[in-house]
Amino acid sequence: MFYDFAMNRRRFFAFASLLLLSCTIVVGCQSKPAVQTPATITVSAAADLKYAFQDLATQWEQETGNKVVLNFGSTGQLAQQIERGASPDLFAAANKSFIEALDQKGLIQSETKLLYGRGRLVIWTKPNRELALKDLKDLTRPEIQRIAIANPNHAPYGIAAQQALESIGIWQEIQPKLVLAENIRQAQQYAETGNVDVALVALSLSVHKSGKWQLIPEELHKPLDQMMAVPKRAQHPGLGQEFAKFIDSQKGRPTMQKYGFVLPGEKIAAE
């Protein structure tokens, strides 16, 4: 049988060249850094964080290229959503007790729990309201006919409002005047639209918004120590924790201070 050495030699070199080219391509691909696709995280946050977290989300997006979808509501209702299967990448509550309760039910990554601030409660009225309200006892005056608070059944600021009114002994007296809102932001909206005369709301919703407000002494209610954590069902747990750390970082803390939150390690200023 005639054997074509020349042809087989050509085939050998062709195969060797192809193998070398393949190796070069593989090595070249491995040497290039992988391009990270921007992700979108979902953050469920208490309504008192509306303005602060909108600013913080914008800052974080600009720094990382990722996106943040914010879901605001009353802390109790957001916690119930998580219990029913909701999977935000971060949950920021207006009271740490709700995070602790979810943790006890095995729904929170315990190591991600982080105290990020203490909220304050204020008496708030529209700027054109001719009401000189110095303290909570003024709410009993006859010209004050409707008062909005967040629902104490599921909203930490509503619970604090009830505690403060009970502390000075007027909770029962003003029951006929109370209008319950789903969350603290809705309570403020009732006052903004004139549906109520006054609202007890968060300082964080008041400091950079037109309106008249007066701080309620903190000793009248339990502290509104606020905590955040990553739920166990989070789709992007690592990014959720990164955003939480950003909020509590040297870059994020000034924004929280801007909106009136007392940060961990700080003392409350004299009132």
184 is in an annotated binding site: yes
Which of 84, 259, 82, 215 lies closest to 92, judged by CA? 82
Which residue do the tokens 């982080």 mark?
Answer: 114
Cα angle vertex 201, ends 133, 165, to 5°?
A: 65
**H-run or E-run covering 270:** none
- Here the tokens at position 254 are 């000034």
Pairing state of beta strands 40-46 and 67-73?
parallel
First to last CA, the chain: 107
**Distance (Å, rounded) from C-alpha 186 to C-alpha 177?**
17
75 is in an annotated binding site: yes
**Distance (Å, rounded) from C-alpha 199 to C-alpha 194?**
10
Annotated binding-site residue numbers: 75, 184
Annotated binding-site residue numbers for molybdate: 75, 184
